Structure 1
Amino acid sequence: MVSRASRPLTLLWFRDDLRVTDHEALTAARDDGDVVAIWIREERDTEGRGPRPLGAATRWWVHESLQVLGAELDKRGIPLLFAAGTATQIIPEVAAELGADTVRWSRRYAPASRALDEAVARELEARGIASEDSPGALLVEPWKVEPSSASAYYKVFTPFWNAARQVSVDLPLPAVKAQSLPQEVADRVDRVRGANTHLLAEVDDLGLLEAGTGPASTRFSLRSGEGAGAAKISLGEGDPRFPWWEDTIARHWTPGCVAAHEAVDHLGERIAGYAEDRDIPGDPEGTSALSPRLRFGEISARKLLAAVDALGDVGAVDREAWIRQLYWREFAWHLTYHVPDLDRRPMRPEFAGFPYEDDPEALAAWQAGRTGIALVDAGMRQLWRTGWMHNRVRMVAASLLTKNLLLPWQLGEQWFWDTLVDADEANNPVSWQWVAGCGADASPFFRVFNPERQRARFDPDGVYVRQWLEGDTGESAREVDAGDSDDGSAGEQVPIVDLGESRQAALAAFDAMKSAQSAD
């Protein structure tokens, strides 16, 4: 075993906590002594332990965010290593080769990730290396909020919200202090970086942007370039030719913890009027647009909570409406902690027998924003071009897929997982199950969002629909091909489904499911 350094050395394992401010594990590591950091593009092990593999949009985001994190750590004298593979092998190996006394990380809450972290801790213990986990992702950890009833966990949001708000939240920590790494440790880092086959030289070597990492089930055409010579690119599953983020989502976002903290400076502008404006998809200031930054921990939830509490010029109604959404994220992780496989299995088991349809053409039309239903098509175009969709429109698009088209919610969840920059293991499946009527605190199945009524109510002047169906103000060079329309708009396309008839068909399918359950 490599001899220990003259003062304690910690290997800090970054995951979805790509920041240097209000980072409990990183701060504790620096308080102990010297720090070397690592980020791994993880693969699930043979027992299925580990985080869900990243979708295409989140791979782009984390690639960009890691570069910012690396620069911020470098300013503080903390080396950042990169690796790809199975963490149960990589973390113990690298820690031992560095001569680390301790490995620290921020806690994860999905069952498969918790199992992986426990396995890593056992491997470290076998090598005589300590491991420490710290909070950091949530305001209230799942085991700190338990119902007084016989239920093991909250299944309805409002009681959860009422209980969770009673749990005190610590104030955020300052940015981690810089270090001057001893030369012997710096030399050891260089030797390990060159010798360990799992370690990579830089972010680009992680393969996050490699060919073939686009959305997995893209079946529609895209228009590339301008003018009569514009080429049509036909994408199939795993097609390696189109790094779709280059002139789509990359034009709309600046990932990284620096930009995340800059956004907090303007939080008051986004929260004023939030209670009403958050439902208006055509209002660019109606939401805070912080969801991808929370997803990758570029800023902590408690930093945001403290920032909102400190706003003196925001009304109580707007403040509470915004904080309530922050706690909906907490609720999603609360459910995920207690329930495995939320991305595949309905929480209400009777829905495992729901008579969904098998219609690849309808799925492709929905993915491409070619349903002929304006609000949904606008939302799906916004998703493709920006990696994000307004939450009101997400609900409407999900309702159309699961209740009007009668397609399995898992197909929509997977598409969002691949194309949303804020897709995480909790919010994405929990929200889909909520709309589909099969999850906790679910919207009743008979609640079918009518896209036309939603558009009339929340986009009465057509601002949102025009923006995304008539083009993204020239910013996006590639447009979803919606048929014969030169501008990529839905034009006179006939809706692929009758909203009234399909609603009745959905209710009939629901009744058939209940009848089948009764017969069993």
Structure 2
Amino acid sequence: MVSRASRPLTLLWFRDDLRVTDHEALTAARDDGDVVAIWVREERDAEGRGPRPLGAATRWWAHESLQVLGTELDELGIPLLFAAGTATQIIPEVAADLEADTVRWSRRYAPASRALDEAVARELEARGIASEGSPGSLLVEPWEVEPSSASAYYKVFTPYWNAARQVSVDLPLPAVTAQSLPRDIRDRVERVRRENAHLLAEIDDLELLEAGTGPASTRFTPRSGAGGGAKESSLGEGDPRFPWWEDTIARYWTPGCVGAREAVDRLGERIAGYAEDRDFPGDPEGTSALSPRLRFGEISPRQLLAEVDALGDVGAGDREAWVRQIYWREFAWHLTYHVPDLDWRPMRPEFADFPYEDDPEALAAWQAGRTGIALVDAGMRQLWQTGWMHNRVRMVAASLLSKNLLLPWQLGEQWFWDTLVDADEANNPVSWQWVAGCGADASPFFRVFNPERQRVRFDPDGVYVRQWLEGDAGEGAGGVDAGDDSDGGAVAPIVDLGESRQAALAAYDAMKSAQTSD
């Protein structure tokens, strides 16, 4: 049993909750006594437990957001430690060396992360240290809503939405008060920094930026030569020719909870007209652009819901359309809680035998925004330049990959995972499975987005396409100069949309026929 000071000490483990307001674990820790914080760049352990490793874009965002968090915590008198490795070793050892009474964290919901948190809690208990998880990233935790049918969880969004929005949501918590750490705890923190060099590091030593020099091509090795099996390690070392995050996405974002609060201040402007404007990618005010803020917990969904409720000059239709998107994110985490391996295993098991193609050249063209399909190419270059893509275009680009090009959806999911600043473990794979037709509440496979019709409908004046296919924005993945192909003329289409649609439907029919004969 470690010795205890008369004043309780909590080690607060930050994960995807990089804020100091409306933070239940932080509030509980300050109510108990003194607080020391830690953030770990986690690796999955030998048993596969832990969160999915960050992609290149999210590594950059985490580095920038953590620096802001450190400043905010410093103003509250809370030291922030950094480490990299396996949390089952780091958290218990640091907590014991600090002589902490309790370790607190915001709960996680992916099966592999839950398994790791349970292992950490057991190790802490063995050392005589308490542990406590708190809600913090969702409005409705996955077990709070259950369907009335025999199913263990909701598999269709609308029934989930109808049930989840009936669950009451508490008001956001106020900011915690600053602390003045006693001398003995400050001494312990400094001793732990000195004596745990094998565990602790400075933020720049976490290699969040060095590892983020740009995504490389992805690989996927399916079972039976099809679309549902185990995957290889997917990402290489990236393109070493230039610092991708610095030359591109850093020009478009200011990560951190301060930037999040500033973005929330503009929420009313973004939600007015949202029900209609959100589908038009050329409208810079059409979406709230808060998805990376939610992904890293710089703002809580509870805070956003309270902000929207307080907007008096926003129509009911716009308000509900925007809130519905918050609950789609909740639905994705509801599914992720119940279903492991969503990033590679199709929820509809028959798709494990879908006859996907193996075409590295087509994949590379899609990644680089060189398909000759104007709306898709514009979206892929927006993604490369900014680390973000308009949701309407995400669906169109995903449909082209998985249906017209007949490439495994997992390859696209992995590319988005590595290039999106808002890629999270739930929304990214759930959305890809929805488009590919193999997930919960999936878009029917025969619904193949026609990117030319989508362009005419949602970018009728060509504003979006011109923005991302001309000038400096015409640099695709790997820095390839795309030139001016805003009408698709400079790059010949790599696939015929009509013929490829028929080929996709034929492949789907072949899959069903093979299963029937079995």
Contact in 2 for aligned 1:55/1:418 (Cα 8 Å)? yes
Query: Which consecutive unaligned segments of at least 5 residues does structure 2 have?
Result: 220-234
Taking the aligned partners of 2:317 and 2:138, their CA distance within structure 1 comes to 23
Distance across 1 between alignment mates of 2:41 and 2:237: 22
**Residues in 2 aligned to 1:260 and 1:198: alpha-carbon distance in whole angstroms:** 34
Residue in 1 that maps onto 2:499:
501
Is the aligned partner of 1:73 residue 2:78?
no
Map of 1:227 onto structure 2: none
User: 2:113 matched to 1:113?
Assistant: yes
Equivalent pair of 1:21/1:175 in contact (CA under 8 Å): yes
Q: Using the TM superposition, give the Cα deviation of residue 237 of structure 1 relative to its aligned residue in structure 2, in angstroms.
A: 5.1
Q: Secondary structure at the match of 1:245?
A: helix
SS in 2 for 1:492: coil
Say which SS state the counterpart of residue 471 (structure 2) adopts.
coil
Q: CA deviation at 1:493?
A: 1.6
Most deviating of 375-384 and 490-499: 490-499
Question: Number of residues paired by the alignment?
Answer: 503
Q: 2:357 aligned with 1:353, yes or no?
A: no
Are the equivalent residues in 2 in contact too, given 1:354–1:510 (CA < 8 A)? Answer: yes
CA contact (8 A) 2:370 2:476 kept: no
The 8 Å contact of residues 381 and 480 in structure 1, kept in 2 or not, is answered as no
Deviation per CA, 1:85-109, whole angstroms, max 9, x where unpaired? 0000000000000000000000000
Q: In the aligned structure 2, how far is the partner of 1:242 from the partner of 1:96?
A: 42
Which residue does 2:398 correspond to in 1?
398
Tell whether 2:517 aligns with 1:519.
yes
Unaligned runs of 5+ in 1: 220-234
Matches within 5 A, 1:350-389: 350-389=350-389
Which runs of structure 2 are paired with 1:152-163 in the superposition (5 Å)? 152-163=152-163
Distance in 1, Cα, partners of 2:279 & 2:329: 18
What residue is the counterpart of 2:59 in the other structure?
59
Which structure 2 residues correspond to residues 354-503 of structure 1 after superposition, within 5 A?
Answer: 354-472=354-472, 480-481=479-480, 485=483, 491-503=489-501
Measure how far apart 1:199 and its partner are. Answer: 3.9
Letter matched to residue 319 of structure 1? R
Once residues 490 and 66 of structure 1 are traced to their aligned partners in structure 2, the CA distance between those partners, rounded to angstroms, is 41
Q: Distance in 2 between matches of 1:478 and 1:354?
A: 28
Distance 1:45-1:35 versus aligned 2 partners, 3 A rule = same
The 1-side partners of 2:406 and 2:255 are apart by 36
- Identity %, equivalent residues: 88
CA shift for structure 1 position 293: 0.3
| Secondary structure at 1:37 match in 2 | strand
Which secondary structure state, in structure 2, belongs to the residue aligned with residue 105 of structure 1? strand
Matched residue, 2:228: none
Matched to 2:509, the amino acid is D
Structure 1 segment 207-286 matched on structure 2, within 5 A: 207-211=207-211, 213-217=213-217, 238-286=238-286
Q: Offset of 1:491 from its aligned partner?
A: 4.1
* Cα distance per residue 1:311-363 (max 9 Å; x no partner): 00000000000000000000000000000000010000000000000000000
Encode CA deviations 1:8-49: one digit per residue, 9 max, x unaligned.
000000000000000000000000000000000000000000
Segments of 4+ in structure 1 off by > 6 A?
476-479, 486-489
Q: 1:16 & 1:478 partners in 2: Cα distance?
A: 28
Once residues 211 and 295 of structure 1 are traced to their aligned partners in structure 2, the CA distance between those partners, rounded to angstroms, is: 20
Give the match's secondary structure for 1:155. coil
Secondary structure of the structure 2 residue equivalent to 1:464: helix
Q: For the Cα contact (< 8 Å) 2:12–2:103, is it kept in 1?
A: yes
Q: What are the Cα deviations for residues 186-209 of structure 1, in whole angstroms up to 9, with x where unaligned? A: 010000011113444421111111
Separation in 1 of the partners of 2:287 and 2:338?
29
User: Structure 1: which amino acid aligns with 2:382?
Assistant: Q
Could you tell me which residue of structure 2 aligns to residue 226 of structure 1? none
- In 1, the alpha carbon distance for the partners of 2:333 and 2:51 equals 14
> Matched residues in 2 for 1:139 and 1:478: separation?
36
Task: Show the 5 A alignment for 1:285-324.
Answer: 285-324=285-324
CA separation in 1, counterparts of 2:287 and 2:254? 17
Q: Distance in 2 between matches of 1:289 and 1:315?
A: 20
Query: What does residue 229 of structure 2 align with?
Result: none
Contact 1:17 1:137 in 2 (8 A): yes
Q: Say if 1:16 and 1:360 are closer, same or farther in 2 by CA, change over 3 A.
A: same
Look up the equivalent residue of 1:502 and give its one-letter code: S
Normalised by the size of structure 2, how large is the TM-score?
A: 0.94
2:505 alignment partner AA: L
Please give the alpha-carbon distance, in whole angstroms, between the structure 2 residues aligned to 1:309 and 1:301: 12
| 1:2-151 paired onto structure 2 within 5 Å | 2-151=2-151
How far, CA to CA, are the matches of 1:287 and 1:163 in structure 2? 26
Q: CA deviation at 1:175?
A: 1.5
1:201 and 1:349, CA in 2 relative to 1: closer, same or farther beyond 3 A?
A: closer
Retained in 2: the 8 A contact 1:157–1:328? yes
Write the distance in 1 (CA, Å) between the matches of 2:441 and 2:88.
36
Which residue identity does 1:333 align to in structure 2? W
More displaced, 26-35 or 206-215?
206-215
TM-score, scaled relative to structure 1: 0.94
Per-residue CA distance 1:375-418 (angstroms, 9 max, x = gap): 00000000000000000000000000000000000000000000
Cα drift, residue 177 of structure 1: 1.3
* 1:242 Cα deviation after fit: 2.7
Indicate conservation of the 8 Å contact 1:470/1:489, yes or no: no
The letter of the residue matching 2:387 is G
**Can you list the C-alpha shifts for 1:230-269, whole angstroms capped at 9, x where unaligned?**
xxxxx98534443201010000000000110111111000
Equivalent position SS for 1:84: strand
Contact map agreement 1:10 1:101 (CA 8 A) in 2 = yes
Match of 2:230 in 1: none
CA deviations on 1:51-100 (whole Å, 9 max, x unpaired) are: 00000000000000000000000000000000000000000000000000
- Change in Cα spacing, 1:114 to 1:213, as seen in structure 2 (3 Å) is farther
User: Per the alignment, do residues 153 and 7 of structure 1 end up closer, same or farther by CA in structure 2, a change over 3 Å counting?
Assistant: same
User: Residues 2 and 98 of structure 1 are in contact (CA less than 8 Å); yes or no, is this contact kept in structure 2?
Assistant: no
**Take 1:360 and 1:479, find their aligned partners in 2: how far apart are those partners?**
15
Q: Which moves more between the two structures, 241-250 or 49-58?
A: 241-250
Q: One-letter code of the match for 2:7?
A: R
C-alpha offsets along residues 477-502 of structure 1, whole Å, 9 cap, x if unaligned?
9984256x379995432100000000
Work out whether residues 36 and 79 of structure 2, in 8 Å CA contact, stay in contact via their aligned partners in 1: yes
CA distance in 1, matches of 2:479, 2:194: 45
Aligned equivalents of 1:389, 1:339: Cα separation in 2: 26
Contact 2:484 2:490 in 1 (8 A): no
Distance in structure 2 (CA, Å) of the matches to 1:193 and 1:216: 35
Say if 1:482 and 1:407 are closer, same or farther in 2 by CA, change over 3 A: farther
Whether the 8 Å contact between 1:200 and 1:206 is mirrored in structure 2 is no
Distance across 1 between alignment mates of 2:144 and 2:211: 43
